[in-house]
Structure 1
């Protein structure tokens, strides 16, 4: 892990990401509190002086930072309302993190996941250099509930010590930072959302937490009967707003198992299957409606299409003509 993390750090954090370079304790506390989490900072050792450098890359609702205090310090984060998970990937030096009743020794190759629920203390040596990933608590809890097939989100308590991160993690972080730097994510915000989901889901699956058993059980392969139940449920509510995570829970599956089952048995994702079903309903209505009785917009909205521009393009892709053309044939 040491070489990949260092390589990623050097690739991700350039001069354009440097937001703090200071030896002033008040400036350091203020800058790090804004980028990471409000905290108190104590310098350890008589005559100690900071030489802090903080790089920061905001990426949608999460962020990545590189932080080195340049002095032996003790950090005591506050427990703010809402809160974030902080994932630490050490690059150099050592630290000892205490979170609740747990303690972790950090060094290159041994990271940590600090949650937002309990008091913690971070004892950091002057050489400690780290990548920090800040993840929104609500997103982690919601995605955990989806993976475990639970209706309600709940606090997620990871083991403090971070096991080896998945190999593709560093590629995800690099891709997210590149999108942020180039501004591509502003044009395609769903890219950021999906990258964030992949990062969080990989943590939930690979790092021990209080829902690991439930996630493991829920991610078993979907049975054909469960997939039929999912299709029946979506058809019964086809014109309503629909979250696939809710469909998965209805069938006793995780979202991942539902998606994998559809790909395995139907060769498409659940969302594509649902869209095709809705398009077929719209086409049937437009092709059979008496003249002057319906409009394309009303029919599209009736069957669950909210973004009419996307709907028109999807309709033409599926049927080779615009929805207005289908309706015009009927009325001519």
Structure 2
């Protein structure tokens, strides 16, 4: 987690993302409440001072933030029906988080996730520096219902302390930070929604929560006819930012059931199958395009790729040459 956190922190340290730099208590509370969650803030110690800095990077429906208070503080967020989930990835320093009856010591490599449902208190030291991923409560609840093929969304309660996440999840957060650098990506809002869905779905499957049992149990393999239906649906929407949750819901399946059916019939996962189809589509477009009519970045984004470095590597792995080389062949 530490390498990925440092990467994101570097991206968010840019001056253009700085939205708050203040030692005034009221100004800090107002600014952080607006960007993150309404809360009360109290200094700890008679001589305590603030030197707060907040960087904010909105990426479609999610946001990445870097926050340090620069002083020993206690934060007590408000409970709200329109609340959110906050995933904390520490960069340096230490803090103690209390959420309901759970307590976690927060240091680099040991993050947390808190929801909007229970009382919450943070005791933070002056050196504590953190990356905060903000996720909308209702979108998390809907994503969980979609994973299970349920019509009704209900509260999701994660364990407070984050478990170690697979590299895939770190790649998603790196992609979120990287996308802010590409104006082309911001012109494709569905891409950003798809990125959010991937982050939430991977969080639901990796981090223990009150639906971990049902999510793990919903793994009966889909019938072959439903697998073919899913393949047809993904082909029809290959240029769209369609999520696997949407595919499963279209076929009346849980996500785990869809994955098991693909593994049985095709020996691969639906995400890998879809990625291969998208790579083939990009390859075909690059080969057939008129000289100067397309850019590799635009074609990749239009075909569902938002981590452009990963796209280039996978393209070369599949076709033996870089996408730019394929496009140049067409021009020669």
TM-score (norm 2): 0.71
Check 1:194–1:264 CA distance in 2 against 1; reply closer, same or farther (3 A cut). Answer: farther
Give the SS at the match of 1:175.
Answer: helix
Shift of 1:252: 6.3
Determine the C-alpha separation between the residues in 1 that align with 2:263 and 2:105.
42
- Is 1:82 aligned with 2:55? no
Determine the C-alpha separation between the residues in 2 that align with 1:246 and 1:4.
28
Deviates more, 1:168-177 or 1:251-260: 251-260
- Structure 2 gap segments, 5+ residues each: 232-242, 275-332
Q: Is the 8 A contact 2:221 2:264 kept in 1?
A: no
Q: Is the 8 A contact 2:95 2:107 kept in 1?
A: yes
Deviates more, 1:212-221 or 1:68-77: 212-221
Q: Which residue of 2 aligns with 1:146?
A: 146
Q: Which residue of 2 aligns with 1:68?
A: 68
- Is 1:171 aligned with 2:171? yes
Give the SS at the match of 2:180.
Answer: helix
Q: Which residue of 2 aligns with 1:51?
A: 51
Q: Which residue of 2 aligns with 1:206?
A: 206
Aligned length: 265
Check 1:220–1:128 CA distance in 2 against 1; reply closer, same or farther (3 A cut). Answer: farther
Q: Which residue of 1 aligns with 2:27?
A: 27
Shift of 1:74: 0.4
**What CA deviation, in whole Å up to 9, does each residue of 1:7-26 have, x standing for no partner?**
33113431111111110001
Check 1:248–1:38 CA distance in 2 against 1; reply closer, same or farther (3 A cut). Answer: same
Check 1:165–1:244 CA distance in 2 against 1; reply closer, same or farther (3 A cut). Answer: closer
TM-score (norm 1): 0.71
Determine the C-alpha separation between the residues in 1 that align with 2:253 and 2:48.
55
**What CA deviation, in whole Å up to 9, does each residue of 1:274-298 have, x standing for no partner?**
xxxxxxxxxxxxxxxxxxxxxxxxx
Deviates more, 1:137-146 or 1:251-260: 251-260
Give the SS at the match of 2:222.
Answer: coil
Check 1:3–1:222 CA distance in 2 against 1; reply closer, same or farther (3 A cut). Answer: same
**What CA deviation, in whole Å up to 9, does each residue of 1:225-253 have, x standing for no partner?**
6547989xxxxxxxxxxx98588468763
Q: Which residue of 2 aligns with 1:191?
A: 191
**What CA deviation, in whole Å up to 9, does each residue of 1:98-142 have, x standing for no partner?**
111111110011100000111100111111100000000111111
Determine the C-alpha separation between the residues in 2 that align with 1:91 and 1:106.
10
Determine the C-alpha separation between the residues in 1 that align with 2:247 and 2:8.
38
Check 1:170–1:251 CA distance in 2 against 1; reply closer, same or farther (3 A cut). Answer: closer
Equivalent residues in 2 for 1:110-149, closer than 5 Å: 110-149=110-149
Q: Is the 8 A contact 2:96 2:105 kept in 1?
A: yes
Stretches (4+) displaced over 6 A: 228-231, 266-270
Shift of 1:170: 3.0
Q: Is the 8 A contact 1:87 1:111 kept in 2?
A: yes
Check 1:88–1:268 CA distance in 2 against 1; reply closer, same or farther (3 A cut). Answer: closer
Check 1:247–1:38 CA distance in 2 against 1; reply closer, same or farther (3 A cut). Answer: same
Determine the C-alpha separation between the residues in 1 that align with 2:93 and 2:244.
44
Determine the C-alpha separation between the residues in 1 that align with 2:135 and 2:10.
21
Check 1:138–1:23 CA distance in 2 against 1; reply closer, same or farther (3 A cut). Answer: same
Determine the C-alpha separation between the residues in 1 that align with 2:269 and 2:200.
24
